[in-house]
Amino acid sequence: MTFRRKLLAVFSLTVFLSVAAVAFLVSAMTRRAFDKADNDRTAALVTQFQREFERHGADVVRRVETVAASDAVTRMATMLNHASTDSAGYFELAKSLAEGYQLDFLEFVDARGNIISSAQWPAKFGYPESAFDNLASSDKQSAFLKQEELQDSTALGLFAVRATRVGDRPIYVVGGRRLDKIFLSGLDLPSDTRALLYQNRGDRFSADLLVDASTPPSSNTRSADKLAPIIQAVQQYSQEMTSVIHWSADQADDEVFHAIPLRGNGKDRPLLGILLVGNSRRSYVELKRHIRASALLVGGGGIVVAILLSSWAAARVTRRVERLALAAQEVTAGNWNTHVEVSGGDEVAQLAESFNRMTTELLNQKEHLVQAERVAAWRELARRLAHELKNPLFPLQLTVENLLRARQSDPAQFDEVFRESAQTLLAEISNLKAIIGRFSEFSKMPHPQLQDVKVNDILRAVAQLFQAQLQAPGRAPIACHLELDENLGTIAADPELLHRAVSNLVLNAMDAMPEGGALTLHTTREDGKIIIEVADTGSGLTPEECERIFTPYYTSKQHGTGLGLAIVQSVVSDHGGRISVQSQPGRGTKFIIELPRNPDTLRSVLATGGVSQGNG
Amino acid sequence: MKRFGWQSLVISSLFAATLAAAQARPQYGDTLHVAMRTAPTTLHPADSTQPDSFARRNLTLLMFETLLTTDSSGRIHPALARSWQAVAGNRRWEFRLRHDVSFHDGTALTAEIAAASLRAANPSWNVSAAGDSVVIEREIADLELPAELALPRNAIAKSAPDGKPSGTGPFHIVDWQPGKKLSLAAEENYWDGRPFVDAIEIEMGRNYHDQSIALELGRADLVEVAPEQAHRASMDGRRVSSSEPMELVALLFTRDVVTPDEKLLRDALALSVERASMRSVLLQGAGQPAAGILPDWMSGYGFVFPMETDLPRARHLREQVRAVPTWTVAYDPSDSIARLLAERVALNARDAGLSLQPTAGASADLRVVRIPLAAAEPWIALANVAAAIGLPSPKNNGGSAEDLYSAEQGLLGTKRLIPLFHLPATYGAAANLRDWSPRPDGSWNLADACLGNEKQ
């Protein structure tokens, strides 16, 4: 990944994470705020319900007191105070008064606890009112909850008891209003909030006992059974409960229900009903979705802007870095005379200035080095020439001096001496010519003529060529091992030069093993390269020798010219490869040639039938 | 001075006596306004598609007449038939018609027309005309045939060319809006004398409350009063008249007893019912508690049927049954008393360990029913009750009280019926409705009534 892309990714990721973090924080804060608002609203509703409950209770008490003080009831109490009067005539009084005073429940009960008249269950006259342990003690009490038995059902209501006392036999007026849809719809509820009432009859949940004043949703059916767990929890633990009801897969339909137990009078304070206050989570969910959508929109937009801005910024930053990278590549390729444009005064500009100074310095040092090496080479050449020429010159001098002495001292034997001296002179002159020829040959290294070459074949040919010498009589035998990669394939190379280079390495190896040993020729492939290894088990080289061994005219041998490995290095270099040496004294030496496979060049070679490779 | 005073006193007394006599004498004219709950859609006496009721019988007898009539003790009297005789062991009956009777359309009453009318009302009868007599032949001896012919449904009618039924009664039809209003006019040539009122207008389908208000406001002269309201109406100073208890209120099971357990449960239910408190409170003292089909005034032995509540025995019977079903008891939703009775019966049943669920629906295990007794003649009444509840009619083999009791006991033995009460037909009349009181069988007898000038 390029620096620019990395920079872009970092910028984008930073913006994305920032937006995500902000959205998360806003969402969390919103949720917390809504939870608090839910709790506040539920608490307010509960308080409101309690106020409404008390208000309705006070209203029931007022109505019952009014009924108890009415003329009709007073007249009835007066009449019934006489033992001879039958109560049958007042059978319908409760119903008519209940309608007049807008009470859902109204009963008149005599002092013995028997019902005289019942509005809600007229046929129950004469039966005892069994819901009260002591009617007299219920008189003057505030309103209370009571489960009223009806003809075919039961109903939950707010009741009050008042007595009409005329004489010594009071008439008890038991009146109440039903807690039903009308009661629930009379509650002043906030929007998105509804109240339901569950009439607690038995331990088992029944949807029929649930009173819901709200309009049922038309789109999705809200099964009352989903309220069963919270109702059963209140029934079991007899305390307020809160639960989230999931009506559908859509979270917006969820409601938070707060269940409040409603208890009746008496010692046990039985659980008569459960008020369920539901707060819709629709607004919260929709706000959360809105925040999420906004965060995604802002995040997406931010990422796009970040990409654009960071592309621009990265381009500003990386353009100069890329120029530096290109300049460095130029330097790597050998073009040391490379400079980059310096603009600005930041770190990159300083880097560019440093780079320019570096290339200038390198160029200067290279020139000094070249000059020094050239001087050293000339010195080495002069030394080697002096050394090479001195050896044949000394016999030439001695032969000429012998010839002169023979001419002066023994003219008779002069001819014989002359003849022998002439032969010696000719031999030494021939030797001089050979020396001069080798130097001449090195200076005339040809450019490689590339063609499709199987390296393994060249190595086999070299091994074949030297097989006789390796096993020559009079010298210690050298075993030759070929370890060739048969899948090596071909490369674009000059077979003659390559053959010559390998042959030089084999000759060196033979020279390094006067006591015999093993010669190994090894080929393998590696990362687009072909590796040729020529290893011996000879005397080996010291690290110093390894460093200088490829220097022209350097030799570790007694009679070497120092050109063999220089020629090998020249051939390998001309093929775009490199040569290295691994050696330990006494354990042998391994020369490693790495040649590029050059598939493009190879295709060109195959297409044209051959190409000349040169370095300049 | 003394002489003058005495003469003045005599003159004043004569004037007052003359005025009183003039006021007591029936007056012709004016229109009598009547209101009723029933809303019949046809006036034909023999139309069996309309439910029987006192109101319908009364309507019929305003326009139509039967061959014979019965009095409160069930004795037979001539009407359109001036005489009758039974031959061939009470299997052939001959009824000789009056000669001076005409239908409202002017057609003279003939034996053929009367025979055709009776055949239409009783398809199973063999009815024929013989001279001025109508001859009815039965396959077996029929002692009750004269009483049967006195029933309003056997009134003689013929269809006029306009499709309206025409009778020979004291009033003829002027306007008829089925189910809503009936306007009648006095028949000037009525064979038994012109009625005193010129016309009668009858409003139909009016509930008790509306009728009471109409009477209060003077818009009606004669209205029906719910039996349970009779006492209060009397206390409020209204003129209330009742017939003898002529309507049976009972619990009717919709199917026969199938298992012994079912019989035990029905007996337990019958023993759990508190008739006394129901009558006292729900009926406000109206009617008579009943454990038999026929009222005591009609049969003379009604007291022998046990009417007292016996909860211990009811519980004992119920405990003999392992699985007790919940019965539904239906009532007519327009009949408030029927609903209260059903609810009270359900409460009583609960005390006995039974389970009854009152319902206004049509389908139920038992129903609270009102069955108007057809006639004051007990055999006729019993036979009609049997027919109304779908049981075979008992046969009158000799007319003795023992036979009647056995027949009634036989009907009760089916356990289809639990009698509760016998209720009278009760009416409220305006103060200016003179010379009127309902007959013991609940019929109006408006032909002899007249309207005076008295204020309410």
At residue B255, what is the residue type?
R
Give A121's contacts in chain B (Cβ within 8 Å): 343
**Do the domain assignments include residue B164?**
no
Task: Extract the tokens encoding A153.
Answer: 């059902």
Is residue B21, in this structure, part of any structural domain at all?
no
Residues B404 and B389 in one domain: yes
> Are A91 and B284 inside 8 Å of each other by CB?
yes
Residues of B in contact with A86 (CB under 8 A): 280
Under a CB-based contact definition with an 8 Å cutoff, are residues A566 and A555 in contact? no
CA nearest B345 in A: which residue?
A123
Q: Which residue of A has its CA nearest to B231?
A: A89
Q: Which of B214, B213, B240 is nearest to B229 (CA)?
A: B240
How high is the pLDDT of residue B10?
Answer: 56
* Chain B, nearest residue to A116 by Cα: B281
Residue B13 lies in a domain: no
Q: Are residues A436 and A503 in the same domain?
A: no
In this structure, the answer to whether residues A395 and A475 fall within a common structural domain is no
- If one counts the domains in chain A, the total is 4
User: Is residue A339 included in any domain, yes or no?
Assistant: no
Co-location of B322 and B267 in the same domain: yes
CB atoms A126 and B285 under 8 Å: no
> What is the DSSP secondary-structure string of B372-427?
E-S-SSHHHHHHHHHHHTT-PPPP-SS--HHHHHHHHHHHHHTTSEEEEEEEEEEE
Expressed in angstroms, the distance from the first to the final Cα of chain A is 35
Interface test with A, best of B231, B275, B281, B327 (most A CBs within 10 A): B281
User: Exposed, middle or buried: residue A591 (CB in 10 Å: 0-12, 13-18, 19+)?
Assistant: buried
User: Which residues of chain A neighbour B277 with C-beta distances below 8 Å?
Assistant: 125-126
B184 and B201, same structural domain?
Answer: yes
- In this structure, the answer to whether residues A456 and A427 fall within a common structural domain is no
In 3D space, the residue among B237, B239, B221, B241 whose CA is nearest the CA of residue B452 turns out to be B221
> Are B173 and B284 found together in one domain?
no
Look at residue A561 in the predicted model and tell me its pLDDT. 65
DSSP string, A338-403: ------SSSHHHHHHHHHHHHHHHHHHHHHHHHHHHHHHHHHHHHHHHHHHHHHHHHHHHHHHHHH
Taking 50 as the pLDDT cut, the residues of chain A under it are 218-220, 611-616
Residues of B in contact with A151 (CB under 8 A): 343, 346, 358
Please identify, among A236, A261, A280, the residue that sits at the C-terminal boundary of a domain. Answer: A280
Which one of A86, A121, A151 has the shortest CB-CB distance to B280? A86
Residues in B closer than 8 angstroms to A87, CB to CB, are 281
Task: Write down which residue in B136, B159, B182 finishes a domain.
Answer: B159
Instruction: Answer yes or no: is B20 within a domain.
Output: no
Smallest CA-to-CA distance from A162 within A184, A142, A191 is with A142
Q: Does residue A319 fall inside a structural domain? A: no
Q: Which residues of chain B make contact with A122, given a CB cutoff of 8 A?
A: 340, 343
Check if the beta carbon of residue B76 is closer than 8 Å to that of residue B154.
no
Domain assignment of residue B263, given as a range:
245-424
Q: Is the CB of A123 less than 8 angstroms away from the CB of B347?
A: yes
Beta strands in B6-71 (DSSP E): 31-35, 68-70
Residue type (1 letter), B181 = K
Q: Is there a domain that residue A52 lies in? A: no
Which is nearest to B251 in space by CA: B391, B371, B420, B51? B420
Residue from the list B284, B344, B357 with its beta carbon closest to the beta carbon of A88: B284
* Residue A130 domain flag: yes
> Which residues touch B351 (CB under 8 Å, ≥6 apart)?
B272, B311, B314
In a domain, A208, yes or no: yes
Interface test with B, best of A127, A129, A149, A153 (most B CBs within 10 A): A127
Nearest residue in chain A measured CA to CA from B338: A123
For an interface test with B, the pick among A92, A115, A120, A150 (most B C-beta atoms closer than 10 Å) comes out as: A92
Q: A173 and A188: one domain?
A: no
Do the strands B239-253 and B288-289 form a parallel or antiparallel pair, or are they unpaired? unpaired
Residues B278 and B203 occupy one common structural domain: no
Under a CB-based contact definition with an 8 Å cutoff, are residues B218 and B31 in contact?
no
Closest CA to A561 of A399, A414, A440: A440
- List the CATH number of the domain containing B117: 3.40.190.10
Q: Which residues of A touch B344 (CB under 8 A)?
A: 123
Contacts of A438 (CB under 8 A, 6+ apart): A561, A563
Using CA atoms in the order B275, B281, B287, B291, what is the torsion angle rounded to 10 degrees? 0
Q: For A122, name the nearest residue in chain B, comparing CA atoms only.
A: B340
Which of A91, A95, A153 to mutate: most B Cβ within 10 Å?
A: A91
Tell me the C-alpha distance between B377 and B399, whole Å.
Answer: 11
A86/B346 Cβ within 8 A: no
Could you tell me if residue B110 is inside a domain? Answer: yes
A172 touches chain B (CB under 8 A): no
A-B CB pairs within 8 A amount to 34
Is there a contact between B28 and B435 (Cβ–Cβ < 8 Å)?
Answer: no
Tokens of A591: 């020369």
Residue A88 is part of a domain; what is its CATH number? Answer: 3.30.450.20
Instruction: With CB atoms and an 8 Å threshold, state whether B358 touches A126.
Output: no
How confident is the prediction for chain B on average, in pLDDT?
88
> In angstroms, rounded to a whole number, what is the distance separating the alpha carbons of residues B228 and B222?
18
Do residue A579 and residue A466 come from a single domain? yes
Alpha carbon distance A486, A463 (integer Å): 16
Residue A476 in any domain: the answer is yes
Tokens of B236: 């409020």
Q: Are B339 and B448 within one domain? A: no
Contact (CB<8Å) B357/A152: yes
A379: amino acid identity, one letter:
R
Same domain, B269 and B373: yes
Cβ of B281 and A152 within 8 Å?
Answer: no
Instruction: Please check whether residue A150 lies inside any domain of the structure.
Output: yes
- CB contact under 8 Å between B281 and A127, yes or no, is no
What is the CB neighbour count within 10 angstroms for residue A125?
Answer: 27
Nearest chain B alpha carbon to A121: B343
Task: Chain B: give the shortest CA distance to residue A237, in Å.
Answer: 34
Inter-residue contact B284 to B230 (CB < 8 Å):
yes
pLDDT at B75: 86
Contacts of B340 in chain A (CB under 8 A): 122-123
Rounded Cα distance, B151 and B61, in Å: 10
Q: What is the CATH number of the domain that holds A552?
A: 3.30.565.10
Q: Per CB distance under 8 Å, which residues of B are interface residues toward A? A: 231-232, 274, 277, 280-282, 284-285, 340-341, 343-344, 346-347, 357-358
How many domains does chain B divide into? 3
Angle between helices B260-272 and B336-351 (to 10 degrees): 110
pLDDT digits (tens, 9 = 90+) for B177-218: 999 999 999 999 899 889 999 999 999 999 999 999 999 999
Tell me phi and psi for residue B337, to 5 degrees: -65, -40
Residue A562 lies in domain: 446-612
CA distance B251 to B350: 16
Determine, for residues A121 and B343 on separate chains, whether the beta-carbon distance falls below 8 Å. yes
CA–CA gap between residue A351 and residue A358 (Å, rounded): 10
Distance of alpha carbon B140 from alpha carbon A164, whole angstroms: 69
Retrieve residue B428's tokens: 């409220």
In a domain, A298, yes or no: no
Q: Which of B141, B159, B177 is the last residue of a domain?
A: B159
Contacts of B445 (CB under 8 A, 6+ apart): B436, B437, B438, B439
Residues A169 and A200 in one domain: no
Q: Is B444 helix (H, G, I), strand (E, B) or coil?
A: coil
Q: Please report the sign of the dihedral spanned by the C-alpha atoms of residue A90, residue A91, residue A96, residue A102.
A: positive
3-state secondary structure of A413: coil
Query: Which chain A positions have a beta carbon within 8 Å of B338's beta carbon?
Result: none
Same domain? A156 vs A272? no
Look at chain A and count its residues.
616
Could you tell me if A410 and A450 lie in one domain? no
Q: What pLDDT score was predicted for residue B407?
A: 92
Shared-domain flag, residues B339 and B418:
yes
State whether A231 and A371 are in the same domain.
no
Residue B1 lies inside a defined structural domain of this protein: no
- Contact list, B343 vs chain A (CB under 8 Å): 121-123, 151
Closest-CA residue of chain A to B340: A123
Same domain membership, residue B182 and residue B308: no
Q: Are residues B263 and B356 in the same domain?
A: yes
Segments of chain B scoring below 50 in pLDDT = 1-2, 455-456
Q: Residue B156 has what DSSP assignment?
A: B
Same domain assignment for residues B322 and B173: no
Residues of chain A contacting B232 with CB distance shorter than 8 Å: 89
Is A89 in Cβ contact with B284 (below 8 Å)? yes
Q: Kindly give, in sequence order, each residue whose CB lies less than 8 Å from that of residue A14, ignoring residues fewer than 6 positions away.
A: A306
A402 and A488 share a domain?
no
Chain A: nearest CA to B348, how far in angstroms? Answer: 10
Give the DSSP letter string of B259-326: SHHHHHHHHHHHHH--HHHIIIIISTT-SEE-SSSS-HHHHS-GGGS--S--HHHHHHHHHT-SS-PE
CA A476 to chain centre: 66
Q: Is the CB of residue A477 less than 8 Å from the CB of residue A513?
A: no
Q: What is the ipTM of this complex?
A: 0.80
By Cβ distance, the residue of A89, A123, A127 closest to B340 is: A123
- HEC secondary structure over A227-295: HHHHHHHHHHHCCCEEEEECCCCCHHHCEEEEEEEEECCCCCCCEEEEEEEEEECHHHHHHHHHHHHHH
Using an 8 Å Cβ cutoff, are B354 and B324 in contact?
Answer: yes
Whether residue A452 is found in the same domain as residue A430: no
Contact A123/B357, CB-based, under 8 Å? no
Q: Which residues of A touch B357 (CB under 8 A)?
A: 152
Residue of chain B with shortest Cα separation from A124 = B344
Q: Do B197 and B446 meet the contact criterion of CB atoms below 8 Å apart?
A: yes
Q: Which residues of A touch B346 (CB under 8 A)?
A: 123, 151
CA of A88 to nearest chain B CA: how many angstroms apart? Answer: 4
Query: What is the C-alpha separation between A125 and A107, in angstroms, rounded?
Result: 9
With respect to residue B234, please indicate whether it lies within any of the assigned structural domains: no
Q: Is A247 on the interface with B (CB under 8 A)?
A: no
Q: Which residues of B touch A85 (CB under 8 A)?
A: none
CATH of the domain at A262: 3.30.450
Question: Is residue B347 domain-shared with residue B251, that is, in the same domain?
Answer: yes
* Contact assessment for residue B70 and residue B376, using Cβ atoms and an 8 Å cutoff: yes
3-state secondary structure at position A536: strand
Mutate to test the interface with B, among A87, A117, A125, A149 (most CBs of B within 10 A): A125
Contact yes or no for A443/A457 (Cβ under 8 A): no
- With tokens 């906030």, the residue in question is A190
* B115: in domain: yes
CATH for B285: 3.10.105.10
- d(CA A75, nearest CA chain B) in Å: 16
In A, residues 37-96, which contact B (CB 8 Å cutoff)?
86-89, 91
Between chains, do B281 and A126 touch, taking CB under 8 Å as contact? yes
- Which of A395, A416, A442 terminates a domain? The answer is A442
A482 and A407 within one domain: no
